[in-house]
Amino acid sequence: MLLLVSFLPVPTRLFADYIGNNRPERVAATIYGASLFLALGALLIPWRYAVREGLVRPDARDEEVQLLTRRLTPGLAAYVTLIVALLFVPVVAVAGYLAIAFYYIIPFKHPYIIALRRKRRRRQRP
């Protein structure tokens, strides 16, 4: 996984260099999307294995584990869909890659997560 993550600047630079050129742009976007897909797969496969084998921290609640699994899983299908879409409309793929990044970066406003944060704040207060 670290190898794939450390490789991400290469397709990112390739993608940035060829935006605006029709054919090279499609190839660069495909390489970029495939790299993101592989990096997410390298994260999701060990995560699912850890969950299945009970290797997740014992103090982690089942709801937290399920929520994280549900957040990670749609990304694989989204990357495959965007790789196919970029063959026809590269701009849609670029917007989709950005949307997926925001999906993973922005905190999820799930009622369970909000309740957990409130409990932690109460415990931290003297």
CA 85 to chain centre: 18
Q: Are 31 and 11 in contact (CB under 8 A)?
A: yes
Residue found under tokens 């409130």 = 118
Domain count, the chain: 1
Question: Which run of H or of E encompasses 125?
Answer: none
Dist. CA 124–CA 88, nearest whole Å:
52
Residue 8 has pLDDT above 90, yes or no: yes
CB 52 within 8 A of CB 18: no
The distance of Cα 84 from the centroid of its chain, to the nearest Å, equals: 18
Chain position carrying tokens 């993101």: 36
- Sign for the CA dihedral angle at 71, 10, 34, 1 comes to negative
**61 neighbors 40 (Cβ within 8 angstroms):** no
pLDDT digits (tens, 9 = 90+) for 76-117: 899 999 999 988 887 888 899 999 988 888 766 666 666 666
Residue 48 confidence class, pLDDT cut points 50, 70, 90: very high
Count H helices and E strands in the chain, helices first: 6, 0
pTM of the predicted structure, to 2 decimals = 0.78
Task: Determine the structural domain holding residue 87 and report its residue range.
Answer: 2-124
What are 90's two structure tokens?
A: 């590269």
What is the rounded CA–CA span in Å between residue 25 and residue 21?
Answer: 5
